[in-house]
Amino acid sequence: MLVEGKKYQTIWINPIKKNVVNIIDQCKLPFSFEIVDLTTPEDAFVAIKDMLVRGAPLIGATGAMGIYLASLQLSNSDKIMNNLRAVASKLKSARPTAVNLAIVIDSIMNSISSSLSVDEVRELTYKMALECLENEINYCKQIGDFGVRLIEEISKRKKGATVNILTHCNAGWLACIDYGTALAPVYQAQERGIPVHVWVDETRPRNQGSRLTAWELQNQGIPHTVIADNTGGHLMQHKMVDIVIVGSDRTTRTGDVANKIGTYLKALAAFDNNIPFYVALPSSSFDFSLRDGINQIPIEQRSAREITHVEGNSNGKIVEVNIIPDNSKVANYGFDVTPSRLISGLITERGICEANEQSITKVFSDLLSMTDEGYIKFNCNRNNNTISIKRLLFNELNKWRKRLYDLSLIGAYNNGIGYGNISVRNAESSFFITGSSTGTKQVLSMSDYALVNEWDYENNRLECTGKTNASSESLSHAAVYDAIVDAAAVIHIHSEKMWKLFHGKLPTTSNKILFGTPEMAIEIKRLLKKDSIREQGIIIMGGHKDGIITFGESLDQAGEIVLKYYNQSLKTSVISFSGDK
């Protein structure tokens, strides 16, 4: 888009110095336009965390550039995968709510093989980082193509009068690479000669609307008015808003949307005044593993200083001033979740769909074909109380979990959907297990585990306690604990090679039974009636491609069984597999 008449992207690899990534420092806008050099993965981490770059698509692209910069620091003697995994884990921790960051980084990491040379890794990460930029640009352009039709329809109804659009935060080109998401239809409308006007929420506490959206609309020559955050409802009541279009940092498969704090209130006001409320997002902002946005999407809590102080321009200098009483407590939630029932539709690069699972599935059936295995199939009733795991046991869990993560036996696919989990028995009728959607994390905190208290195969129900839902494989773990009184730990891993190699040779469940279902749990219990199978401590999940579970009288025993067959698979070639059809 344009800055003083010159075209820019928000991030690019320096055409002269290929070891330098350039970004626009958005913390300085609109008071000064400055280009910053990123030369290390730490630079990329800081740029994301301190919001020199922001917006889900741009955060993801910056993460990709961080991996590329990390590859430039590798030497031939380095342990390539260990070093890159450490960088990837740190980068993903910079901003937890924007799902693009984890999806993009995991996509790159899953494409890197330990057999590649340093030069091959550099070439691959360079290529994939540029592909990420190109994809996001194309997505945003297509979002504009579909979204402008909504503005055209309103313009026709108003007989060519100005269409008034309200937006929240910044979902323009500054939040992406080019064009933007929520503002892409606005830019398209301008190109088609449709008169538009944008109501720009200031978007406290960082004022991304008044500082960034207003700045880019001004550069693009689009009429706009900056308003206080709480003004939108008044404007809607007085018929001064025709449509609301916002962006998304993460959207569930059921259509719930996490966006900048305050979005939910705009949706409520729009719903009450019968004003269409649309969310514009690329497919990279979907988290198909989640069904319940309010309870499952992690909400970033940011520094109190963003609330206690405000930045402004004073005689050419950016200064901060304190605006609240000293010692007052502050809560700074960065995002909120708008339930799908309040959303008129989702504007994506594939078209406009309704904010419900059926419509989203129809549009993104190919992406969901793999991720269908990433969501919970049973009814998970969760008590949100904090759980406590004894420190020694917690350390033991994380030790094995990290070891399996480092071998990519637990982790996440390149679409961000996690796989693999680990559990330990707590008492005769309860167990601790890694939570749903934790596969992208290298190291887990106490809040990433759940305590499963009760399960019911017949009614497909599970009760758990914790800050996250229990893993989608919890019923399978429960089946082992039910069948074997002495079982103290269960591990579920994914390995295509192991699965193909041992399918049918080791105890294997029916190919017709899907993971995470009561049928799988019942099948596991059936197999475990045989003493010989109990002694082997491993089951291949026939209807769950790549899925394998091990179990033992201790976590160490269950883990060593995994390593035993993993090491055996490294020495064996898989020629064919008749069951993989």
Per-residue pLDDT of the chain (581 residues; tens, 9 = 90+): 889 889 999 999 999 999 999 999 999 999 999 999 999 999 999 999 999 999 999 999 999 999 999 999 998 766 888 889 889 989 998 998 888 898 899 889 878 877 788 999 999 999 999 999 999 999 999 999 999 999 999 999 999 999 999 999 999 999 999 999 999 999 999 999 999 999 999 999 999 999 999 999 999 999 999 999 999 999 999 999 999 999 999 999 999 999 999 999 999 999 999 999 999 999 989 988 788 899 888 899 999 999 999 999 998 888 999 999 999 999 999 999 999 999 999 999 999 999 999 999 899 887 765 555 445 566 778 888 899 999 999 999 999 999 999 999 999 876 567 899 999 999 878 999 999 878 888 889 999 999 999 998 887 888 999 988 899 889 999 999 999 999 999 999 999 999 999 999 999 999 888 777 888 899 999 999 999 999 999 999 998 889 999 999 999 999 999 999 999 998 876 544 444 33
| 104-158 pLDDT, tens digit each | 998 898 788 777 889 999 999 999 999 999 999 999 999 999 999 999 999 999 9
Task: Report helix angle 118-157 to 56-72, nearest 10.
Answer: 170
| 63-111 pLDDT, tens digit each | 999 999 999 999 876 688 888 988 998 999 899 888 889 889 988 987 8
Q: Which of 229, 249, 287, 448 is catalytic?
A: 249
580 a catalytic residue: no
Task: Return the half-sphere exposure (C-beta side, CA atoms, 13 A cut-off) of residue 276.
Answer: 20
Q: Angle at Cα 387 formed by Cα 430 and Cα 463, nearest 5°?
A: 45
Domains in the chain (CATH in brackets) are 2-136 (1.20.120.420), 137-370 (3.40.50.10470), 376-570 (3.40.225.10)
Q: Per the confidence metrics, is the pTM higher than 0.85?
A: no
Distance CA 195, CA 569 (A): 64
| In contact, 390 and 426? CB cutoff 8 Å | no
Q: E strands, 54-182, where?
A: 163-167
Q: What residues contact 118, with CB distance under 8 A and at least 6 apart? A: 71, 74, 75, 76, 78, 80
Query: Would you give the distance in Å from CA 25 to the centre of its chain?
Result: 24
Pairing assessment for the beta strands 277-280 and 345-348 based on DSSP bridges: parallel
Pairing assessment for the beta strands 6-7 and 11-13 based on DSSP bridges: unpaired
Distance CA 581, CA 65 (A): 37
